Amino acid sequence: MSQITGELTRLLEDFVSRKPVPGLAVGVIADKKVIFTKGFGVKNTETKDPVTEHSLFHMASVSKTFVALGMMQLVQDGKLGLEDYVKDHLPYFTMKDPRYLKITIRQLLSHVSGMPDEESFDWANPEYDDEALERYVKGLYNKELLWDPGSGSAYSNIAYEILGDVIQKVSATPFETYMKREILEKVNMTKSSFLKTEFDPELLTTPHVLNTDGYYGPRVSKIYPYHRAHGPSSTLCSNVVDMCSYAQAVLNNDSGLLKHDSFARLFEPHSGTPWGKETSENGLAWFLGEYKGRRVASHGGLDTGYRSNLVLLPDDGIAVVLMTNADYIGTKVIWNTILDVIFGEPVQRIKNSLARHLAGLFVQSGQKEAFEKYGQMKENKFDGFLLIEGELNYAAYELFEAGKVDEALGLLLLSIDLYPESSNLHDSVGEMYEAKGSNNAAAGYFSKAIALDPDNKDAIANLERVKKQ
């Protein structure tokens, strides 16, 4: 194991040293034993305080796995059933769409309820009172469903806020109190909480967002992502030591939390996702799939200033916990590399994100140099770089939203060189040209996007819009 931990330290120190990463913490379990917990970088780029294994990070949507566990505890205790209608437990829950009456607990847990996703978490206006979650659920009265409950799959944060309210009503306990008493304390997560007033300020990291003005890298966020209406979906604060305790409990089917058959129900597939091998199916909160032929259950998190991952390989007794105080760092390449090291595969270094590297060149060196460097990288077959189509598109929209339309367009044009059959990228280029007022060019790219994928609804709507202008 010492060889593995030494290799992980080398790889992660190298990664942080050459990437615009403020802070990173990693925990690793092998053979159901904790073998690695370590912090890298800083909690705050202004104060330079170091990250340790005890530093606290906002876990974002990894919180949802705790909600599912809490729900299964109540099911096991006979206090509710997975097929119960939500309305039976929350009489004040109403929606504009009458189909909401048929939404079940299981459908909310597995993202097949037809519930839309949250459009704004309103982190800038946090609410701290005990009624915030119930008030949020009552405020859904004007929402409509995407489709009939159970007939389609769509990720929904709203669904988990509703589930959190069910937990607190069925248990007659505030949501955060139930989580602490029935889960966190039982697995010795002594520094973790869903309630901000319980976070240790000496251990808490600072969120960082992407700066694109003059340099490409971390900038301290003025906003910390907290709001009690979004506790169930997002607000767990934890560190790698505590999260490894949780991962161990789940890997071991800890009877102090749930019986074995109840644990198993968390990992039963309920619907498919469009997100690839590692996350190809929805369980109850958990995403299910495989990595290099091994069964994987995982959840990631992304909120203002933070990203996180919890990855379990149940059949192998392996878990990886990953958290960073920056919301723009792709973390999949990190946990993929960590698993490869555990598997005994030779790894030279964690690959650079091509999307981030190119975006940084556009911001810091200009278009001419970015295109020249791209040509050189292409000649070298992008050695040492990770190419992900979706990340290229995401990085371009970050530039676009920062007012850097030309830089975003340049990045997307290079992306199309890499993925010439991508309908989505052609649609994105069209949007950039439209933003620049070049409607003829925009129409050409929207048309190409439709030719590549006749079902691309965004491209169809975009083309109709520019034709009317």
Pick from 286, 316, 349: which residue ends a domain?
349
The number of domains in the chain is 2
Q: Given this model, what pLDDT does residue 276 score?
A: 80
Q: Which two tokens stand for residue 337?
A: 């590399």
Please name the residues in contact with 21: beta carbons below 8 A apart, sequence gap of 6 or more: 15, 40, 41, 218, 324, 326, 329
Q: Is the pLDDT of residue 361 over 80?
A: yes
Residue 295: name the closest of 283, 307, 309 by CA.
283
Q: Is the pLDDT of residue 255 over 90?
A: no
Q: Is the pLDDT of residue 187 over 80?
A: yes
C-alpha 124, offset from chain centre: 20
pLDDT digits (tens, 9 = 90+) for 44-86: 999 999 999 999 999 999 999 999 999 999 999 999 999 999 9
The answer to whether residues 430 and 340 belong to one domain is no
pTM (2 d.p.): 0.93
Mean pLDDT of 24-45: 98
What band does 254 get if pLDDT is binned at 50, 70 and 90? confident
In the 3-class helix/strand/coil scheme, how is 79-134 assigned residue by residue? CCCCCCEHHHHCCCCCCCCHHHHHCEHHHHHCCCCCCCCCCCCCCCCCCCCCCHHH
262-276, 302-316, 431-445, range with the lowest pLDDT: 262-276
Percentage of residues in the chain having pLDDT higher than 90: 95
Q: Is the pLDDT of residue 275 over 90?
A: no
The answer to whether residues 272 and 298 belong to one domain is yes
Q: Given this model, what pLDDT does residue 355 score?
A: 95
Q: Given this model, what pLDDT does residue 87 score?
A: 98
The answer to whether residues 398 and 446 belong to one domain is yes
The answer to whether residues 269 and 298 belong to one domain is yes
Q: Is the pLDDT of residue 19 over 80?
A: no
**Cα dist from 350 to 179, 413, 417, whole Å:** 35, 26, 24
- In the DSSP assignment, the letter for residue 325 is S
Mean pLDDT of 105-110: 98
Q: Is the pLDDT of residue 466 over 90?
A: yes
Q: Given this model, what pLDDT does residue 189 score?
A: 98
CA distance 31 to 420: 44
Mean pLDDT of 299-305: 98
The answer to whether residues 409 and 396 belong to one domain is yes
Q: Are strands 318-324 and 352-353 parallel, antiparallel or unpaired?
A: unpaired
The answer to whether residues 156 and 80 belong to one domain is yes
Q: Given this model, what pLDDT does residue 184 score?
A: 98
> Could you tell me the CATH number of the domain that includes residue 433?
1.25.40.10
CA distance 457 to 255: 48
The answer to whether residues 280 and 366 belong to one domain is no
User: Own/partner pairs for 73-78, CB < 8 Å, 24+ apart?
Assistant: 73/182, 73/257, 73/258, 73/262, 74/167, 74/170, 74/171, 75/262, 76/258, 76/259, 76/262
Confirm if 413 and 443 have CB atoms less than 8 A apart. no
The answer to whether residues 425 and 459 belong to one domain is yes
Pick from 349, 379, 405: which residue ends a domain?
349
Total number of residues shown for the chain: 469
**Cα dist from 17 to 7, 14, 204, whole Å:** 15, 5, 22
**Cα dist from 269 to 31, 109, 264, 297, 344, whole Å:** 25, 11, 11, 11, 30
pLDDT mean across residues, the chain = 96
> Could you tell me the CATH number of the domain that includes residue 207?
3.40.710.10
The answer to whether residues 452 and 341 belong to one domain is no
DSSP letters, 376-404, are: HHHHTTTTTEE--HHHHHHHHHHHHHTT-
Which residue range(s) make up the domain with 418?
Answer: 352-468
The answer to whether residues 252 and 371 belong to one domain is no
Q: Is 225 helix (H, G, I), strand (E, B) or coil?
A: coil
The answer to whether residues 271 and 170 belong to one domain is yes
pLDDT digits (tens, 9 = 90+) for 330-353: 899 999 999 999 999 999 999 989
Pick from 315, 334, 349: which residue ends a domain?
349
Rounded (10°) angle between helices 439-452 and 423-435: 170
Give 26's strand partners: 38, 322
Q: Is the pLDDT of residue 202 over 90?
A: yes
The answer to whether residues 224 and 257 belong to one domain is yes
Q: Given this model, what pLDDT does residue 283 score?
A: 98
What band does 274 get if pLDDT is binned at 50, 70 and 90? confident
Q: Is the pLDDT of residue 369 over 90?
A: yes
Mean pLDDT of 25-38: 98
